[in-house]
Amino acid sequence: MLEDAGQRIEDVDAVFVTHEHSDHATGLKGLARHGHLKFFANEDTARPIQKQLSRRVNWKLFKTGQSFVFRDLKVSPFTIPHDTYDPVGYLFAWGEDDLFNPPRKLVWLTDLGYAPKFVQNKIQDVDYLVLEANHDIQMLEMDDRRPWSLKQRILGRHGHLSNKAALDLLESVENPRWRKVFLAHLSRDCNKVDIVRNTFQPLSEKQKCPIHVVDPHEAVAMEVEG
Ligand SMILES: [Zn+2]
Ligand SMILES: [Zn+2]
């Protein structure tokens, strides 16, 4: 996937881990072979992941809610409602008041059951936003592979944002400064790129902001028309 994006693992300095669920942690088994990588996480996230690994990786532990600097990034991990011990979203800020290196912000926000008010404030003035649009509620309800209890978990306050919830969140933000929004973490079984695209197309037009949908089968982002 890095190669497809024209990148090499040697050029990656660090990995920022949000929480220990397997869809976020499995990749560390392969990444652990690359000794130059640093892994940022809070302790409650790092501990269960390290137990699954055959070698010790270079953890850089932080406390949720406390900002730190890595290279030219100011990193602010913040708490989000999800069903692990200490799940986080990230705010990355870089640049300065300089024409050639202007200040920029990116928020990474996936795996949350709902968006608390402070999250709404946090994303208002970011340049780039990566937001979860996990499932189509109807497709999830119709799905016959997931037991009722799992559906309740996904739909619950510590589960995932549906397309509708993600749209509501974006629509609730006044005067957003977004240059680009990426909709990510789509369920392979309970969502479709086309559904997400159609859901967000009017918003993309209204706010004149390009919205990209990250296809979970391709791992590439496609722009919503308009
Ligand atoms: Zn999760
Ligand atoms: Zn996840």
Measured in angstroms, how far is the CA atom of residue 56 from the centroid of ligand 2?
23
Q: Which whole number is the average pLDDT over 11-17?
A: 97
3-state secondary structure of 23: helix
Helical H runs in 52-160? Answer: 117-124, 137-142, 148-155
Question: Phi, psi at residue 207, to the nearest 5°?
Answer: -95, 0
Q: Which residue in the block uniquely carries the two structure tokens 């990995």?
A: 15
pLDDT digits (tens, 9 = 90+) for 188-204: 999 999 999 999 999 99
Task: Please state, in angstroms and as integers, the Cα–Cα distance from residue 74 to each residue in 82, 103, 178, 181, following that order.
Answer: 24, 11, 19, 20
Which ligand has the nearest atom to the CA of 23?
2
Measured in angstroms, how far is the CA atom of residue 110 from the centroid of ligand 2?
7
Measured in angstroms, how far is the CA atom of residue 87 from the centroid of ligand 1?
8
Measured in angstroms, how far is the CA atom of residue 158 from the centroid of ligand 1?
9
pLDDT digits (tens, 9 = 90+) for 142-187: 999 999 999 999 999 999 999 999 999 999 999 999 999 999 999 9
Strand 58-62, strand 68-70: pairing: unpaired
Which ligand has the nearest atom to the CA of 159?
1
Which ligand has the nearest atom to the CA of 132?
2
Are 211 and 166 a contacting pair, CB within 8 Å? no
pLDDT digits (tens, 9 = 90+) for 61-85: 999 999 999 999 999 999 999 999 9
Q: Which residue in the block uniquely carries the two structure tokens 């969140």?
A: 169
Task: State the amino acid at position 170 in one-letter form.
Answer: L
